[in-house]
Amino acid sequence: MTAAAQTAVLTETAYAKINLALHVRARRADGYHELETFFAFVDAGDVLEARPADADVLELHGEFAALLAGETSNLVTDALALLPHGGAGWHVRLDKRLPVAAGLGGGSADVGAVFRMVARAHGLPDGWPALAARLGADVPACVDSLPVIGRGTGTELAPAATDLAGCPVLLVNPRLPVPTGPVFKAWDRVDRGPMPEGSARAVMLEGRNDLEAPAITICPAVADVLAALRHGGEAWAARMSGSGATCFALYDSDAARDAAAARIAASRPGWWQMAGRLR
pLDDT at 6: 55
pLDDT at 86: 83
**Cβ count within 10 A of residue 268:** 17
**CB under 8 Å to 265, separation ≥6 — which residues?**
271, 273
Contacts 24+ apart (CB under 8 A), 78-84: 78/111, 78/135, 79/111, 79/114, 79/115, 79/135, 80/56, 80/114, 81/56, 82/131, 82/134, 82/135, 83/114, 83/115, 83/118, 83/124, 83/125, 83/128, 83/131, 84/118, 84/122, 84/125
Q: 111 phi and psi, to 5 degrees? A: -65, -45
Q: 190 phi and psi, to 5 degrees? A: -95, 120
CA distance 79 to 85: 10
CA distance 248 to 170: 5
Q: What is the residue-level pLDDT of the chain in tens, covering all 279 positions? A: 444 455 689 999 999 999 999 999 999 999 899 999 999 999 999 999 999 999 999 999 999 999 998 777 799 999 999 999 988 999 999 999 999 999 999 999 999 999 999 999 999 999 999 999 999 999 999 999 999 999 999 999 999 989 999 999 999 999 999 999 999 999 999 999 999 999 999 999 999 999 999 999 999 999 999 999 999 999 999 999 999 999 999 999 999 999 999 999 999 999 999 999 999
With contact defined as beta carbons under 8 Å apart, do 273 and 172 qualify? yes
Give start and end residues of each alpha helix (H) in the chain: 3-7, 75-82, 106-121, 128-134, 139-144, 180-186, 200-206, 212-218, 221-230, 254-267
User: Which residues are known to be catalytic?
Assistant: 17, 138
CATH number of the domain located at residue range(s) 3-277 in this protein: 3.30.230.10
pLDDT at 42: 98
pLDDT at 7: 61
With contact defined as beta carbons under 8 Å apart, do 235 and 204 qualify? no
pLDDT at 1: 43
Size (the chain), residues? 279
What angle, 0 to 180 degrees and rounded to 10, lies between the N-to-C axes of helices 75-82 and 106-121? 30
Q: 176 phi and psi, to 5 degrees? A: -125, 120
pTM of the model: 0.95
Question: For the chain, what is the radius of gyration of the CA atoms?
Answer: 19
pLDDT at 221: 98
Closest CA to 172 of 257, 255, 229: 229
